[in-house]
Chains A and B, each alone.
Chain A
Amino acid sequence: MTAEQWTDARLSQALAKTSAPAAADPERCYHADLFWHLVRGELGKRLTAEMLDHSAGCPHCLQALRLARAVASDAGASAPDPSKGSLQSTLQKFFHPVAALAYLLLLLLSFPVYRLLTPSEPAHPSPVVTGTTPQVPLPSVPEGLRGLRLLRLTGDVAFRGGAKQEPARLVLRPEEALALKLFPELEDLPRDPVASLTIRVLEGGKEQASARRQVGDLEADESFLLLLDPGMLQAGKTYRVELRVDSPAPRVVLTQAFRLDAR
């Protein structure tokens, strides 16, 4: 029997029908959500390549890839829409300015390196957020997303005449980006999953960054995620974050502030 009898279908079946080798290390496997984003073409090329390289030798992750593809396909959401063009053009719709996109890509590239170099580090970075803003315990951080400082902002809209809230305060290490997780009141959001939202980051009244989201982009923990380029943030400055519903009736559903302290 020759190797030519290994048809593509047989190769695929051979990979699919067996259980994983015991040597595979589940601790090194990528988070399921990352495969979801990979299938939808929402990851950088380098991270996509890293995950595919890993999956080549890891039955667990190869199965996760197949599952994400199957689910996304059934959901009518597999593979990026060709009209969206390249990854860069897709991301540019969400992240401004360009520096933010560049940093995000660098961040994604660095994640396998962090994972290899710091195996004993805790999976969840310690919060540095201080101040009077109500703090919620940090969520489970998807595996590999080290180097991110998570700041959770809950949805207290400031009322005229109400007590002024102090901004949350945080310090960023040189290798860290800032991920804002915005927790609006679900009741304030439109029911339509494709309803449009805008997240704005302002400093001194000037817009520093903005990103568009849809209600359907809510994460599993019912938050919206926004990654910020630390290059656009300056120590000593206070930044205001707004989450605005664009339609049918434009309105701000969350506003919060944070201050970046010097290291």
Chain B
Amino acid sequence: MSVDFEGGSVGLEGLSPADVEHIRRRLTEAMSRVCPHWLVDEREDLVQAALIRIVGMRGGRVGAGELASTYLWKTANSVMLDEIRRPRWRYERTTDDGRIGDGTPTPGQDPERDAVSKEVATQIHDCLQALEASRRRAVVLHLAGFGRREIVDLLGRSLKQVDNLVHRGTRDLRACLERKGVRP
């Protein structure tokens, strides 16, 4: 069994095709939910790179019984974030003349829309930072996709408290954006 990539392939001794497909599918599902828009075209490559690195780190010792292990997914998280961040720094690198990026727009990139999106995100982050601390933490988790129960466990609050924090926090966030004149 092997994983093909540009320029060669990596052997996956001890893994059945079903094992590899299982890992690949779950990595793809995770990536599809978090991949930034400017990397959408590279999503499959990112999954492939993560898969190769995971197996490489284990020296081909990944076995079917390990697929559910915490270690594997922790590693997957780490390598996927590395892969996401790598092109990000390249994209955002400030050139000598003060421009951002390498000057080569990706296909479908709309510089004006990107600039607006970036400005909106910056304003949201500014407003998040201005929230009262406990509300801010609950809202960050909420907007990052965490469910109420997860937030309860992570913040050590009751469900009712979390409901209040999220409700009041998002209300304050919207009010802040309104004051700034930031609209969807």
Q: Which residues of A contact B (CB under 8 A)?
A: 1-8, 10-12, 14-22, 26, 32-33, 35-36, 38-41, 45, 48-49, 52-53, 55-60, 62-80, 82, 86-87, 186, 191-193, 214-220
Contacts and interface: CB of A to CB of B under 8 A. Distances in A.
Contact of B74 (A10, A15, A33): A33
A181 to B, nearest CB: 15
Interface string B62-86: 0101101111111111101110110
Nearest to B82: A32
Contact of B118 (A5, A21, A45, A49): A21
B124 A86 contact: no
Contact of B37 (A17, A20, A36): A17
B36 A19 contact: yes
Interface of B: 26-27, 29-31, 33-34, 36-38, 57, 61, 63, 65-66, 68-78, 80-82, 84-85, 88-89, 91-92, 94, 100, 114, 117-118, 120-122, 124-126, 128-129, 131, 133, 136-137, 139-147, 149-150, 153-156, 170, 173-175, 177-178, 182-184
B124 A14 contact: yes
Contact of B84 (A11, A62, A63): A63
B124 A15 contact: yes
A20 B139 CA distance: 19
A57 B128 contact: yes
B66 A216 contact: yes
Given A41-B153, A45-B156, A14 B85 contact: no
Given A32-B78, A57-B129, A71-B80, A217 B71 contact: yes
Q: Is the interface of A mostly helix, strand, loop or mixed?
A: helix
B83 to A, nearest CB: 10
Contact of B121 (A5, A18, A216): A18
Contact of B133 (A53, A55, A63, A217): A53
A52 B140 contact: yes
Contacts of B75: 220
Nearest to B38: A19
A209 to B, nearest CB: 22
A14 B155 CA distance: 24
A56 B149 contact: no
Q: Is the interface of B mostly helix, strand, loop or mixed?
A: helix
A74 B26 contact: yes
B145 A70 contact: yes
Contacts of A49: 133, 137
Contacts of B129: 53, 56-57
A34 to B, nearest CB: 10
Contacts of B57: 220
Contact of A18 (B80, B114, B184): B114
Nearest to B28: A74
A33 B40 CA distance: 24
Contacts of B120: 14, 18
A225 to B, nearest CB: 12
A80 B141 contact: no
A56 to B, nearest CB: 4
Contacts of B184: 1, 5-7, 10, 14
Contacts of B122: 21
Contacts of A41: 153-154
A128 B155 CA distance: 37
B88 A19 contact: yes
Contacts of A45: 155-156
Given A6-B177, A49-B137, A72 B85 contact: no
Given A49-B137, A56-B125, A220-B75, A67 B80 contact: yes
B30 A74 contact: yes
A2 B184 CA distance: 9
